[in-house]
């Protein structure tokens, strides 16, 4: 399927979704958000996809929601249309692992989009920020909530109140990104991680994703119980038998998602 604002390629069980509005530093407009929701849902349904990567360009993952599109809107417009909401939440319904590959700017909605992925690998050129305060608004795609959980209250307040940008080294130090790599190696490293994930049992990968995400939604006791039940449940799968047998027989497991 051809998109106006995205380039989607599927190869070796990885769907690579590239945000593609180069003239606006990949600013997220309604068209891009609806196409992204559609591309993610299609990748989630596609048997030839076991891991998803979202990326932008060398200059920008995404420089935020499109200010030109938002500037003239009224409360009635954004509240009435529930601006961006259902398309951005579509991302949270994806069950397959999603990696954000971030080079350049990931600001406002761009930073929030990256945080909605399962983890972020950053180029050393990456710059993260929640500068909405400069526009007279606050973050609207979860930035005040997710960034606070990632980096703690003090740094989150600093980012949201001053609107300053954080470089890749600071983002790695404070746990916003899982790793930083030289910009020229970003896609190679991300695709290696995606290939590694694609080689696992998809059932188990989806269980990992559910369990880790549950830690944001519940108490420690309930989260640990949820994890234990998933652990027990996976003993009903052929992939658990295969994974453990392969270890004992000193060979590579052949998972069949069963
Ligand atoms: N929206 C629209 N256009 C943009 C955006 C944007 N967010 N960011 C950059 N552009 C455009 C510029 O207007 C410019 O276009 P043109 O050449 O036609 O004038 C082009 O991209 C290049 O940008 P610059 O010339 O500004 O490039 P610089 O290298 O000088 O600066 C920056 C790069 C620092 C990234 C700068 O462009 C900037 O500050 N951009 C805005 C960043 C920002 O404020 N982002 C937050 C937006 S608000 C938001 O994301 C809220 C999300 C919540 C949605 C909630 C829904 C419920």
Q: How far apart are CA 123 and CA 98, in angstroms?
A: 17
Distance from the Cα of residue 164 to its chain's centroid? 22
Q: How far apart are CA 14 and CA 97, in angstroms?
A: 10
- Give the bridge partners for 119, in sequence order: 99
Task: Please count the other Cβ atoms lying within 10 Å of the Cβ belonging to residue 243.
Answer: 17
Atom 8 of ligand 1, nearest CA residue: 63
Tell me the best of 36, 59, 61, 67 to mutate to test the pocket of ligand 1, counting ligand atoms within 8 Å of each CB and taking the most.
67
Mean confidence (pLDDT) of the chain: 97
- Residue ranges around ligand 1 (CB below 6 Å): 24-25, 27, 63-68, 83-85, 105, 107-109, 131-132, 135, 139-141
Which positions of the chain have pLDDT values less than 50?
none
Q: What tokens does 57 get? A: 């360009």
HSE-up (13 A, CA, CB side) for residue 76: 0
Q: Return the axis-axis angle of helices 143-151 and 109-116, rounded to nearest 10°.
A: 60
Contacts of 180 (CB under 8 A, 6+ apart): 121, 122, 123, 124, 126, 168, 169, 171, 172
Q: How confident is the model at residue 1, as a pLDDT? A: 78
In angstroms, what is the span from residue 108 Cα to ligand 1's centroid?
Answer: 9
Atom 12 of ligand 1, nearest CA residue: 24
What CATH class has 201-249? Answer: mainly alpha
Torsion over CA of 92, 243, 229 and 150, rounded to 10 degrees? Answer: -40
Q: What tokens does 221 get? A: 């006791």
Burial of 149-160, coded b for 16+ CB within 10 Å and e otherwise, reads: ebbeeebbeebb
In angstroms, what is the span from residue 45 Cα to ligand 1's centroid?
Answer: 33
**Which residues form the catalytic set?**
65, 109, 112, 132
Q: How confident is the model at residue 152, as a pLDDT? A: 97
In angstroms, what is the span from residue 8 Cα to ligand 1's centroid?
Answer: 23
Q: What is the pLDDT of residues 60-90, one digit of tens each?
A: 999 999 999 999 999 999 999 988 898 999 9
Name the DSSP class of 48.
Answer: T
In angstroms, what is the span from residue 246 Cα to ligand 1's centroid?
Answer: 51
Atom 39 of ligand 1, nearest CA residue: 63
Ligand 1: atom nearest CA of 65 is 50
In the structure, how many helices (H) and strands (E) does the chain have? 12, 10
CATH 3.90.226.10 domain extents, the chain: 6-198
CATH 1.10.12.10 domain extents, the chain: 201-249
Q: Can you name the CATH fold of 6-198? A: 2-enoyl-CoA Hydratase; Chain A, domain 1 (3.90.226)
Q: How confident is the model at residue 196, as a pLDDT? A: 97
Atom 52 of ligand 1, nearest CA residue: 109
Contacts of 142 (CB under 8 A, 6+ apart): 112, 115, 116
- Give the bridge partners for 121, in sequence order: 101, 179
ipTM for the predicted complex: 0.98
Q: What is the pLDDT of residues 133-175, one digit of tens each?
A: 999 999 999 999 999 999 999 999 999 999 999 999 999 999 9
Ligand 1: atom nearest CA of 24 is 21
Q: How far apart are CA 220 and CA 130, in angstroms?
A: 29
């Amino acid at each position: 399927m051809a998109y106006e604002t995205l380039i989607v390629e599927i190869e070796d069980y990885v769907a690579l979704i590239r945000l593609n509005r180069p003239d606006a530093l990949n600013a997220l407009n309604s068209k891009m958000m609806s196409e992204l929701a559609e591309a993610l849902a299609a990748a989630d349904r596609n048997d030839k996809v076991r891991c998803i990567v979202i990326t932008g360009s060398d200059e920008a993952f995404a420089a935020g929601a499109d200010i030109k599109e938002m500037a003239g809107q009224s409360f009635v417009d954004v509240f009435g249309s529930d601006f961006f909401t259902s398309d951005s939440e579509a991302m949270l319904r994806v069950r397959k692992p999603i990696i954000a590959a971030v080079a350049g700017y990931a600001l406002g909605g761009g930073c929030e989009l990256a945080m909605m992925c399962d983890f972020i690998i950053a180029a050393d050129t990456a710059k993260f920020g929640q500068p909405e305060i400069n526009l007279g608004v606050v973050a609207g795609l979860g930035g005040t909530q997710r960034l606070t959980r990632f980096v703690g209250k003090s740094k989150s307040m600093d980012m949201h109140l001053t609107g300053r940008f954080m470089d890749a080294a600071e983002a790695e130090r404070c746990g916003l990104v899982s790793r930083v790599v030289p910009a020229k190696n970003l896609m190679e490293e991300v695709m290696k991680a995606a290939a590694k994930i694609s080689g696992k049992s998809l059932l188990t990968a989806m269980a990992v994703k559910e369990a880790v995400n549950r830690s944001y939604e519940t108490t420690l006791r309930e989260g640990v119980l949820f994890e234990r039940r998933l652990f027990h449940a996976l003993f009903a799968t052929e992939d658990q038998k295969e994974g453990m047998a392969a270890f004992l027989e000193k060979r590579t497991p052949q998972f069949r998602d069963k």
